[in-house]
Amino acid sequence: MKIVDKVNECIAKGQTVFSFEFFPPRTEEGVENLFDRLDRMAAYGPVFCDITWGAGGSTADVTLDIAKRMQNVVCVETMMHLTCTNMPLEKLDSALAE
């Protein structure tokens, strides 16, 4: 089911809709700190989670790691907020495929 469909379903049921947006931490400690808290944040029932991809792909690997964990381990629907400025097409295609 697409995220927009999940949002529309909640609205139709009169439920509150909210999501989380994460900016990838810049340090390894920050990444581990975020990973340690994902389950607690997911317990609040967000409809989805958005992970920001830094301009020029500066945080591409961290963004993918966070998105994979949120989607596949924590089981919250996840999307990447891709910033395509100064990005080679191959890198975008690779990120989307992954």
- DSSP letter at 71? H
Q: What are the catalytic residues?
A: 21
Class of residue 2 by CB neighbours under 10 A (exposed 0-12, middle 13-18, buried 19+): exposed
CB-based contact 20:77 (threshold 8 Å): no
